[in-house]
Amino acid sequence: MKVGIIGASGYTGFELLRILLRHPEVEVTVLTAERFAGKGIEEVFPPLKGLPLPPFEPLEVERMAERADLFFTALPHGTSMEVVKALFERGKKVVDLSADFRLRDPSLYERWYGPHRCPELLKEAVYGLPEVHRERIRGASLVANPGCYPTGAILALMPLASEGLLPEEGVVIDAKSGVSGTGRAPSQGTHFCEVAEAIRAYNVRGHRHSPEMDQELSSLQGRRVRVNFTPHLVPMNRGILSTIYVPLEKELKEGDLYELYRTTYSEEPFIRLCEPGRVPSTSEVRGTNFCDIGLVLKGRSAVVISAIDNLTKGASGQAVQNMNLMLGLVETLGLEDLSLFP
Amino acid sequence: MKVGIIGASGYTGFELLRILLRHPEVEVTVLTAERFAGKGIEEVFPPLKGLPLPPFEPLEVERMAERADLFFTALPHGTSMEVVKALFERGKKVVDLSADFRLRDPSLYERWYGPHRCPELLKEAVYGLPEVHRERIRGASLVANPGCYPTGAILALMPLASEGLLPEEGVVIDAKSGVSGTGRAPSQGTHFCEVAEAIRAYNVRGHRHSPEMDQELSSLQGRRVRVNFTPHLVPMNRGILSTIYVPLEKELKEGDLYELYRTTYSEEPFIRLCEPGRVPSTSEVRGTNFCDIGLVLKGRSAVVISAIDNLTKGASGQAVQNMNLMLGLVETLGLEDLSLFP
Amino acid sequence: MKVGIIGASGYTGFELLRILLRHPEVEVTVLTAERFAGKGIEEVFPPLKGLPLPPFEPLEVERMAERADLFFTALPHGTSMEVVKALFERGKKVVDLSADFRLRDPSLYERWYGPHRCPELLKEAVYGLPEVHRERIRGASLVANPGCYPTGAILALMPLASEGLLPEEGVVIDAKSGVSGTGRAPSQGTHFCEVAEAIRAYNVRGHRHSPEMDQELSSLQGRRVRVNFTPHLVPMNRGILSTIYVPLEKELKEGDLYELYRTTYSEEPFIRLCEPGRVPSTSEVRGTNFCDIGLVLKGRSAVVISAIDNLTKGASGQAVQNMNLMLGLVETLGLEDLSLFP
Amino acid sequence: MKVGIIGASGYTGFELLRILLRHPEVEVTVLTAERFAGKGIEEVFPPLKGLPLPPFEPLEVERMAERADLFFTALPHGTSMEVVKALFERGKKVVDLSADFRLRDPSLYERWYGPHRCPELLKEAVYGLPEVHRERIRGASLVANPGCYPTGAILALMPLASEGLLPEEGVVIDAKSGVSGTGRAPSQGTHFCEVAEAIRAYNVRGHRHSPEMDQELSSLQGRRVRVNFTPHLVPMNRGILSTIYVPLEKELKEGDLYELYRTTYSEEPFIRLCEPGRVPSTSEVRGTNFCDIGLVLKGRSAVVISAIDNLTKGASGQAVQNMNLMLGLVETLGLEDLSLFP
């Protein structure tokens, strides 16, 4: 199978390349990158020096659509939708890593991101969290790859939501992310010296990933859920730890809680439950497509902690997992890497 | 004034020295350190090479009590109490940096730390958070210096608790600490490679600092409060960021929330409120005795974020603040350092 | 093929597992670890939770020799030699990651490490740097896997040494290593807070890896070479950057220098030359078996900079490369991972 | 005394403020910053929130010259010279932190930085390394504050150079710097993820600080010296470690080497020699104006290692030291801070 990567010069682009270049069933035939068009691979991605790669070209859908069967679009929000539409109309399968097709309600999209110019395509898009929507992803031509924070949060809460155990309000999601989640473009806030030896919250009043969590959790729960989400920036490259506090209305035993999670996830290749008494660290999933989950019951409050690599399960790894499903391949193909530790 | 430091070879000991060696009104005359007794200063604290310091001696209360008016005890929990008692009985003033005199209820102490062998002294001890107990500290001979996490959490919540606005349960305190909070002794969990590029929660089921928070917040609130506290380890040296989620029973406006904090803290030299829309970072208080606080109201939930340096306001800086009060000195003396940035 | 790992609980043990568990031609059948014997895999190596692994057993050569064809010994220097001997005598192939069989001269070993108790085996051992000794490795039963610093330094200098271009004295090797090079056991010097935000040299007067460099470089050069080597500890997990200054006796052009390196390494799968004007960073080889090399000629001095991952090409990756050669497999098998970036 | 800071919004500006706001003899009356003009202090320097500071104004020499006696110029190279000239002509004392007046030879300046538009002022400028030029600094109106790398390197080599012990070529200066040395403006190369977990050399072919070292070392030595200097970027905020390799022509004993350094620096308040057998770490000088030096003799090669904080002794601390000298104040005033450790 031939695949292309649109907007390949960022960290999610690199992570796609890292996975796809070793994937046994696909070949990368198209790479685009405006900022780096015409530059050599050693300049764009020094770690790939010497590898035979297609050149980085400027984006021109017409010219490149022929050359691949499936495209990953890793463009900024707002820029992605029209490229996706053009590819879709040419019968290409697309995994879109932007937020453009994640929210089913275009007015909600508009509130957080700006006007949606291709709302007619929203009904074609499947939210690409395989643990929730696997069957629909298999049949989809357009998959909206989830945000990094929503991936960690929804996977941590799905068993509770599926049982209707989430309160409408009051679920606190305190998430801590490595800096690669903000992308590769430099900014004052991601300058090394402003990040090292510091931790801070950001977008406390509201973050674009909240409505995504609400949408999926409400759908799983069967009624409206509004989470209280606060992201933080941690001085590390990769990883998201989500510490989630769920006030339980029903009395529950920790054993039952574990049983619920075990049952829900017994067949999932990328979900790992920690042994009772243990909680996950981001270092245990570095470079892998795993989502590790730990559970503690404190009185009437469940503390659920999940760890993912924001660039793998939180972005490019999950995108490849979605590709595998869409192309009828084994779901875990190309995603068997073990964690780089330390 | 002459002061001594008992157990001076750890990070809180160093931080006391850093502050006291430049304090205009005191002289350090006694230093003890079992692990490093007899070793030269360059071996114990290379950054202090060349400074004229008293030698590190083994601990012998009898012999050293004469040589100072006030002692800081920076010994492990359980070890400290008897040394404190011996100093107290000799009429010395003591600021104890261990947990031994923080909990007023000896049975609570026993549950978290082990048997209390000097319970008769508990009534003499004042909990050394000047913003709460300033007047009692002035008159005290024994001050129990607060834990690092409780300092950040209680200061963030005091205005709400004083108005009786905290719910009995449901306050979530998600705290993120630098590694120096675990002390200077090496361990598997603080080995560089196990910490770098990772974030993890620990003691999720229960941490010794919880009862300390509950004690002080219940007392401020005028009725029982039980917080839901989870500490995390962050790959940085210094700093605690506490992200606190308070479900409010009463409707409240953000402006009123700010007003409440402004009023409560208008005279406090070490509390800084962030401007509306801003939240603090640990890098902004590094090496200072400040506690910075930011506020955001999200629906019926207040998000209060505080940042302290765990070694300064969270330990040794606060200990010196307490000393200043106990000795009748200007409260801020020796604590005027600005943040080292970056 | 069945392989065993003796002393598997450290970072080199983990790195061996990371590579071997995905290697298509071998199966790991034996794991020993004194410190962690009987502990579950989640406790020893949390990132491997859930994987079907043989249990960690205490070391007993008799009992385990039958169960594998080739063993990796990752034991401390001095402890390794007798285990290696016992395995060798039972006809097992061995890749020894300790220093015990690296130095051909037992009196030199004794000066740096202590008495050698199996000197008769030294003549059986091949120094496991495939770029230098490939053919001998193929036929060897005992391979002494090189030290991490010597790997980076010798590969950087081999083209010059082979042409006799190194001066007897005066080659300066200034190497900077991540902390994983010191192993997994905690110590004061590798406590997070003593390493973060700091860089320092260590063992300046003499480091055990110097004689290893001298031995191999002298052999390549055809006459005695004594390097001036200084290692440094850098606040990062992985990687060694070696900045090497070679005073050249002959006049040389940069183009010729490049040509010499290109020719020497044209067939090497794991050596990558940077484009002229570029020098390598450790981040470009993270988790890979590559050794990247950059060259700059400054007057009569060549500056050669090499970057390796100390745990991969500097230890376990190279050990697997050696295993592949010893077992007649494709040399790069299991070592095709691309760099984790960032 | 009234002082102004021109170009105050970077890291050297902050470090000047950190020191000067607590300096007992000066008052900061002027602050300029183009990029941040009109912004509140909390936005420019969050750690200074709440402090009474003059507003950040755009640069207008005419208007501000009246308001201070001495100015620090912390502008980019090339921009600084004309501002310095305008201040100088108005009779103001100036400490210039740019490179514009460091090189005595304008043609050398032109080769590395571009045309010099005020060459007539070069003869007025004194190179502001007090350990070398103290007396001339006392009488100067214009001091060219040294570069960070030259400060660490020249102080490490001055005793040898003064005795004529440096070879003309062959001195290798391998320097490792924290990221704050590159300034506060964000760039791809200082984006957190490109720096963390990585070490790399840069400007290997030639760095602007080389001619500065050559100028001062040649002058001390009494004949031409050309060093071989390579800077590296280390994932930490502050600090420069310079590992310097000096091939000695004369036989020398380590004791004599120590004696030479001890004698040279016996009266220097900011130079600290490590005990024999110890070498410095950047963490031991963090936030201080110290330059720590360690010495090891290896055969005919002296290894001299110096550690400074690039923002303090390497920039703003040294600038204040120069100011103290120029104003006839005690040289160490405002510079007594002990290291923040860890």
pLDDT digit string (tens) for chain A, length 342 residues: 999 999 999 999 999 999 999 999 999 999 999 888 888 888 899 999 999 899 899 999 999 999 999 999 999 999 999 999 999 999 999 999 999 999 999 999 999 999 999 999 999 999 999 999 999 999 999 999 999 999 999 999 999 999 999 999 999 999 999 999 999 999 999 999 999 999 999 999 999 999 999 999 999 999 999 999 999 999 999 999 999 999 998 889 999 999 999 999 999 999 999 999 999 999 999 999 999 999 999 989 999 999 999 999 999 999 999 999 999 999 999 999 999 999
Max CA separation in chain C (angstroms) = 61
Q: What percentage of residues in chain B have a pLDDT greater than 90?
A: 94
Determine the average pLDDT of the residues in C235-256.
Answer: 95
Residues D130-165 as b or e (16 or more Cβ within 10 Å = b) = bbbbbeebbebbbbbbbbbbbbbbbbbbbbbbbeeb
Q: Which chain D positions have a beta carbon within 8 Å of B339's beta carbon?
A: 18, 47-48
Nearest CA in chain A to D235: A192
pLDDT given at position B312? 98
Kindly report the number of other CB atoms within 10 A of residue C253's CB atom: 9
Residue C35 is predicted with a pLDDT of 81
Please indicate, yes or no, whether residues B275 and B234 belong to a single structural domain of this protein. yes
Give the model's confidence band at B249: pLDDT under 50 very low, under 70 low, under 90 confident, else very high.
confident
The radius of gyration of chain D's CA atoms, rounded to the nearest angstrom, is 19
Average the pLDDT over B294-305 and give the result.
Answer: 96
Residue position matching structure tokens 């098998």: C333
For residue A142 the two structure tokens come to: 């357009």
pLDDT of the residue at B270: 98
Cis peptide bond upstream of D342, omega within 30: yes
* CATH at residue A73: 3.40.50.720
Residue C196: closest C-alpha in chain D: D236
Residue C184 maps to a domain: yes
CB contact under 8 A, C292 and A40: no
- C274 → closest Cβ in A49, A180, A272: A49
Residue A75, Cβ neighbours under 10 Å: how many? 22
Q: Does A141 touch chain C (CB under 8 A)?
A: no
Residue type present at position D70: L
B124-134 average pLDDT score: 98
Query: Which of C180, C188, C193 is facing B193, going by the closest CB pair?
Result: C180
Residue A290 included in any domain: yes
* In-domain check, residue D104: yes
Averaged pLDDT score across all residues of chain D: 96
Strands D271-273 and D291-298: parallel
pLDDT band at B40 (very low <50, low <70, confident <90, very high): confident
Tell me which of A195, A200, A249 to substitute to probe the interface with B (most B C-beta atoms closer than 10 Å): A200
As a whole number of angstroms, the distance between CA A156 and CA A303 comes to: 10
**Which residues on chain B are in Cβ contact (under 8 Å) with D48?**
338-339
Summarised one tens digit per residue, pLDDT across range C198-215 is 999 999 999 999 999 999
Q: Which of C148, C193, C274, C291 is catalytic?
A: C148
pLDDT digits (tens, 9 = 90+) for C80-90: 999 999 999 99
Q: Are C130 and C145 in contact (CB under 8 A)?
A: no
Q: Is the predicted ipTM greater than 0.85, yes or no?
A: yes
How close does chain B come to C237, measured CA to CA in Å? 5
In A209-238, the residues whose Cβ lies within 8 Å of chain C are: 237-238
The pLDDT of residue B157 is 98
C254 touches chain D (CB under 8 A): no
Same domain? For D196 and D299 the reply is: yes
What pLDDT is stored for residue D46 in this prediction?
A: 95
Co-location of C100 and C216 in the same domain = no
B103 belongs to a structural domain: yes
Any B CB within 8 A of D271 CB: no
Tens of pLDDT, residue by residue over B172-197, are: 999 999 999 999 999 999 999 999 99
Q: Which chain C residues contact residue B190 at CB under 8 A?
A: 186, 191-193
Tell if the CB–CB gap between D204 and C239 is shorter than 8 Å. Answer: no
State whether residue C192 sits within 8 Å of chain B by CB: yes
- What was the pLDDT predicted at B52? 86
D221 lies in some domain? yes
Measured in angstroms, the CA of A36 and the nearest CA of chain B are apart by 28
Which among C50, C237, C336 has CB closest to A22? C336
- Residues of A with catalytic annotation? 148
Residues C161 and C276 in one domain: yes
Average pLDDT over residues D240-266: 96
Give the Cα separation of A33 and A185 in Å (integer): 13
The SS3 assignment for A37 reads: coil
- The verdict on a CB contact (< 8 Å) between B228 and A281 is no
Contacts of A21 in chain C (CB under 8 A): 338
Residues of B in contact with C193 (CB under 8 A): 11, 178-180, 184, 190, 237
**Is residue C129 in some structural domain?**
no
Judgement on whether residues A304 and A218 belong to the same structural domain of the protein: yes
Question: Are residues B291 and B222 part of one domain?
Answer: yes
Count of beta carbons in the 10 Å neighbourhood of residue B90:
12
Clarify whether residues C183 and C89 are in a common domain.
no
> Considering CB atoms only, which of D245, D277, D279 is closest to C200?
D279
Determine whether the interchain pair C180/A342 forms a contact, defined as Cβ–Cβ distance below 8 Å. Answer: yes
Between C238, C272, C286, which is nearest A50 by CB? C272
User: Is residue C97 within 8 Å of C84, Cβ to Cβ?
Assistant: no
Measured between CA atoms, the residue of chain B closest to residue A254 is: B205
Tell me the residues of chain B between 73 and 92 that have a Cβ less than 8 Å away from chain A.
none
Residues 6+ apart with CB under 8 A from B89: none
Chain B, nearest residue to C45 by Cα: B194
- C267 near A CB under 8 A: no
Q: Kindly state whether residues D297 and D159 are assigned to the same domain.
A: yes
Give all chains having 3 or more CB-to-CB distances under 8 Å with chain A.
B, C, D
Please tell me the distance in Å from D189's CA to the nearest CA on chain C.
12
Residues of B in contact with C190 (CB under 8 A): 186, 191-193
Facing C298 at nearest CB: one of D174, D205, D237: D205
**Neighbour subunits, D (≥3 Cβ pairs < 8 A):** A, B, C
Q: If contacts are CB pairs under 8 Å, which of residues 153-182 in chain C contact chain B?
A: 178-180
Q: Read out DSSP for D264-313?
A: HHTT-TTEEEPPTT---BGGGSTTS--EEEEEEEETTEEEEEEEE-TTII
Structure pTM?
0.97
Q: Is the pLDDT of residue C249 over 90?
A: no
- Chain B residues close to A174, C-beta within 8 Å: 172, 174, 243, 245
Contacts of B81 (CB under 8 A, 6+ apart): B98, B100, B101, B116, B117, B118, B121
Q: Specify whether C161 is located in the same domain as C270.
A: yes
Q: Is residue C319 part of a domain?
A: no
**Residue D129 in domain:** no
C144, β-bridge pairs: C96, C127
A vs C, Cβ pairs < 8 A, gives: 92
Which of B206, C232, C14 is closest to A283 using CA atoms? Answer: C14
Greatest Cα-to-Cα distance within chain A, rounded to the nearest angstrom: 61
Domains: count for chain D: 2
Specify whether C117 is located in the same domain as C162. Answer: no
By Cβ distance, the residue of B21, B45, B340 closest to D340 is B340
Which CATH number do you get for residue D169? 3.30.360.10
Q: Where is pLDDT greater, at A299 or B80?
A: B80
The residues pairing with B93 across neighbouring beta strands, listed in sequence order, are B70
| A49 and chain D in contact, CB less than 8 A | no
Q: Are A116 and A162 members of one domain?
A: no
Q: Does one domain contain both D157 and D298?
A: yes
pLDDT bin (cut points 50, 70, 90) of residue C4 is very high
> Model confidence over D290-314: pLDDT tens digits?
999 999 999 899 999 999 999 999 9
Q: For residue C196, list chain D residues with Cβ-Cβ distance below 8 A.
A: 236, 342
**Inter-chain residue contact B186 with C184, CB threshold 8 Å:** no
Residue numbers of the domain that contains A6: 2-123
